[in-house]
Amino acid sequence: MTQPQTLRRRGAVLATAALMSWAALAPASVQAQAATPTVQLPDFTELVERVGPAVVNIRTLERPGNGGGNLRGQVPPEFEEFLRRFGIPLPNRPDRGGPRNGPQDDEDNEPQQRGVGSGFVLSADGYIMTNAHVVDGADEVIVTLTDKRELKAKIVGADRRTDVAVVKVEATGLPFVKIGDANRLKVGEWVLAIGSPFGLDNTVTAGIVSAKQRDTGDYLPFIQTDVAINPGNSGGPLLNLRGEVVGINSQIYSRSGGFMGISFAIPIDEATRVADQLRANGRVIRGRIGVEIAPVMKDVAEAIGLGKPQGALVRNVESDGPADKAGIQAGDIIVKVDGKAVEKSGDLPRIIGAIKPGAKSTLQVFRRGGTQDIAVTVGEFPPDRQPQRAQATPPKEEKAASLSAFGMTVADLTDAQKKELGVTGGVRVEAAEGAAARAGVQAGDVVLQVGNTEVANAKQFAAAAARMDKDRPVSVLIRRGNWVNYLLIRPR
């Protein structure tokens, strides 16, 4: 090896050693930055070009005198959709004056714009998905495509409980979206919304998934995002970076009417199941068992031996309904349906609703310290059924001899009271003070259970109370009107 070659080789070795020494002595943060590859923000342009043509603007019209009217001529139409969504009444249009039975009357009889929203094309033959509240009460529905064509649409079906609707336009060869899998979404993942906020067609906003399984409705666990959603975005698609629809933008959390950093989307798998039924039957067929439910609180779960807060507390059982016929009782906690765990009360309507009416299901219930399986034949949920209101208090009748415990003065129920309430036992609270009052017990309540012990009369109530540890919280199952609930009486 020649002398110049030897010198070059030694120089390279020294340079490598110096670089390694610098790396070893550099701060950890500098080393981490050097080792971490640069992450670039996503470019949405190709995705928007591909999916944008399948997103439509939906405008609804209403004929004068059909329904509640709107703020015609008073506020922009894009705000009317927001007002209706949050239940703000819309006054009829004021009389603009002028002669009757003339041209002015003809103008008044013309359909007036009721609101605006968004939607997306499901198939090339013109089926479009949107929110039920977008088309609710509309006399006419106009769909505007990205090529500016305006087509009249027919409402195929709408389901208020999930806020999903399907409309149909007479057209062929329409661009349509690709349906994705909402279950694959991850918190922190980038998502994109396309819609018509404030009536501005094909507006694109982006953000991330903030949370999943948000329980804000009876039948849907929502996707929460920080994507900017405003009035008019309702019914538009929520897209992942593959250009697949993973949700329908449905709700906003706002104190001002504008975007405040929180929005909610219906998971597309849930929406697709609803849309398929709407296209096939014009409505959604759901199972029901006829119970009113409430969450199970952590302290109550521990006090009654359930362990962790899980399941759905049955507050009331509909007389002669499927659950009543099967033997489900108020105060039961439904923890499983056909082996599937009911983690929280909101899971129960979704699980039961997905069961075909007429099918037999096995409910596992927690009752008085233990679990048991009960077979129930699932009924059908009638369309737009309104929940029953509870009575304020049972009717007052003749009092029996009273007894005091836990700060409660109680009395036996008369036969007439038992018949009225549909119970076979329990004691009526005549007065509550001290620990019982602090727990929320009220005069007129009926105590059905102390701890996990059922009480049929005042004597049994006293015996059960005597067995309780006075230094630990005691759970009582009370009935108030048509509802039951657990209350926890805590010693001071």
The catalytic residue positions are: 133, 163, 234
Q: What is each CA distance from 434 to 61, 437, 440, 466, in whole angstroms?
A: 59, 5, 10, 17
Q: Annotated binding site for substrate, which residues?
A: 133, 163, 232-234
User: What is the distance between the terminal CA atoms of the chain, rounded to a whole angstrom?
Assistant: 93
Residues 184 and 191: beta-carbon distance below 8 Å: no
DSSP 149-177: -EEEEEEEEEETTTTEEEEEES-SS----
Q: Annotated binding site, which residues?
A: 133, 163, 232-234
Nearest alpha-carbon partner for 314 in 300, 294, 297: 294
Q: Which residues are paired to 291 by β-bridges? A: 317
How many other CB atoms are found less than 10 A from the CB of residue 151?
A: 18
Q: What is each CA distance from 360 to 363, 396, 423, in whole angstroms?
A: 10, 40, 26
Q: Which residues are paired to 432 by β-bridges? A: 408
Residue 218 CA to residue 337 CA, distance in Å, equals 17
Residue 156 CA to residue 435 CA, distance in Å, equals 56
